[in-house]
Amino acid sequence: MKMTMRWFGEDNDRVPLEHIKQVPGVEGVVWSLHDVPAGDEWPMDKILEVKEQADRHGLNIDVVESVNVHEDIKLGLPTRDQYIENYIKTIKKLGKVGVKVICYNFMPVFDWTRTDLFKEMEDGSTALFFENDKLKDIDPMELVDTISKNSAYTMPGWEPERLAHLANLFEKYKNVTEEDLWENLQYFLEKVIPVAKENDIKMGIHPDDPPWSVFGLPRIITNKQSLERFLKLVDDPYNGITLCSGSLGANPENDVAEMVREFADRIPFAHIRNLKRYETGDFIETSHRTQDGSVDVYEIVKAYHEVGFTGYARPDHGRHIWGEECRPGYGLYDRALGVMYLWGIWDSLERLKEKGE
């Protein structure tokens, strides 16, 4: 297992590389060019700038998260071919600097959805929170109008400057079904996977977060059955999964450890986080410790150990603790604690293996 931590760039992250370097066992950063719009070809000079920054601290840039997929590709519009061509050009450039994995998603409109970025927990820390009833049975077009007229009503991803674009996107997705999305995903994969293979880069799709429909938008990467279907769209080792225990774990019917064992040879990248589920469908992200949430992180790490996982992993979202001011979900302190918890499980399993137990 190769341990990494997500990093948003020198000008876009409160966590400097020299601090990430000090977290035991972390070999690299998971990065992206966040100022490049989805669909644009990534400039080589900006890619090299990130590589030089990481190199100075002895960290690799083997994993990119994300090269975002333009909405026109997801919608299957005639313009998608140009955006796919830009994607292909970016893959080739990333191959030249040694990138081994590209994490991406195929979620319409939103990469993820939460209703509170800093929900206070019993111990005084805060964390990302999803309140099911807040979004249930809401007409998204009515909500766009409501937010436009009420600046006090805000949710992550619904900032005022995005509203005009969101209204337009919701209109475009009005008649898009899950089957349409599957067809458009297959079209995308058939174009990019051969190029990824030529450049020795594994593509890892991220599950939908949360793994169910939000605002009536189609979502298709949600459970074991959908992952099985996905892998068959282009049955190639370079077409893989970014298996996220937090995204999938929001649904109590998903057994993430079972998925690790089932899809082991198609998981180049692992997101490991915990969350506490409520009967209402709400959930809040917790520490990585199994006992603090509803996801059996110990069993998941054990599954990775059993299958001899040699891919990349990162502690996913963490709480905000000790007064740290940070990007929601991405403070240094709790993620560093998460790294040590994951290594603690892994090292214990290694010791038992050595003893033949």
pLDDT for position 155: 54
Q: Is residue 332 part of a domain?
A: yes
Which residues on adjacent β-strands are paired with residue 120? 126
Q: Is residue 284 part of a domain?
A: yes
CA distance 56 to 33: 18
If one counts the domains in the chain, the total is 1
Q: Is residue 141 part of a domain?
A: no
Q: Is residue 155 part of a domain?
A: no
Average pLDDT, the chain: 92
One-letter amino acid of 34: H
CB 276 within 8 A of CB 121: no
Residue 270's CATH number: 3.20.20.150
List b or e across 170-192, with b for residues whose CB sees 16 or more CB atoms inside 10 angstroms. beebeebeeebbbebbebbbebb
pLDDT for position 11: 81
Q: Is residue 201 part of a domain?
A: yes
Domain span at residue 228?
2-133+180-354
pLDDT tens per residue, range 131-149: 988 877 667 666 666 656 6
Q: Is residue 145 part of a domain?
A: no
Q: Is residue 54 part of a domain?
A: yes
Entry pTM: 0.93
List b or e across 301-310, with b for residues whose CB sees 16 or more CB atoms inside 10 angstroms. bbbbbeeebe
Q: Which has the minimum average pLDDT: 92-96, 105-109, 160-164, 245-249?
A: 160-164
Confidence of residue 42 (pLDDT cuts 50, 70, 90): very high
Question: CA nearest 246: which of 219, 299, 207?
Answer: 207
Beta strands at 202-205 and 239-244: parallel, antiparallel or unpaired? parallel
Q: Is residue 24 part of a domain?
A: yes
